[in-house]
Amino acid sequence: MSESTRAVFVISVAAELAGMHPQTLRIYERKGLIDPFRTPGGTRRYSQEDIERLQLIQDMTSQGLNLEGVKRVLALKEENRRLKQKLDRLRDKLEDMEEETERRLDAIERSYRHEIILRSNVRPMFGNER
């Protein structure tokens, strides 16, 4: 678990770090904008990543976006992140396949190299029969 995803802040500290009221964090959770970790006792714990998400939400709302718009933007950002990861994996796989294809072609070329007789080498052996 990275330091930014470790849930360590209680709601009052998280609210202060994000520059908002604790009730706002509860509203955002009810609206599905944030999903803090819950301890076995049910206490909310926020990570640094959660704080950054709260600040992003605050930035978007201060620019006039309503909470439903914020929710859609966050969903699109997540989808974009997921697709980028998939694209990176596919690029890596394609690169591996290209390298494997090149290795196989080299092996095929080496295996047949001793069997290939160039036409120019054959002509002197048989003379000009044309």
Residue 50 domain-assigned?
yes
Instruction: Give me the pLDDT at residue 97, please.
Output: 97
- Same domain for 3 and 38: yes
pLDDT at 7 > cutoff 80: yes
Domains identified in the chain, total number: 2
- Same domain for 83 and 53: no
Tens-digit pLDDT profile for residues 52-78: 999 999 999 999 999 999 999 999 999
- Same domain for 112 and 58: no
Supply the mean pLDDT for the chain: 89
Tens-digit pLDDT profile for residues 102-111: 999 988 888 8
pLDDT at 123 > cutoff 80: no
- Same domain for 110 and 79: yes
Instruction: Give me the pLDDT at residue 2, please.
Output: 76
Residue 127 domain-assigned?
no
Whether the predicted model's global pTM rises above the 0.75 cut = no
- Same domain for 46 and 23: yes
The parent domain of residue 23 ranges over 1-65
What is the band of 125 on the pLDDT scale with cuts at 50, 70, 90?
A: low
CATH number at residue 44: 1.10.1660.10
Tens-digit pLDDT profile for residues 21-40: 999 999 999 999 999 999 99
User: Which residue, 12, 100, 87, is CA-closest to 51?
Assistant: 12
* 7, 13, 90, 100, 118 from 96: Cα distances, Å: 37, 47, 10, 6, 34
Instruction: Give me the pLDDT at residue 110, please.
Output: 81
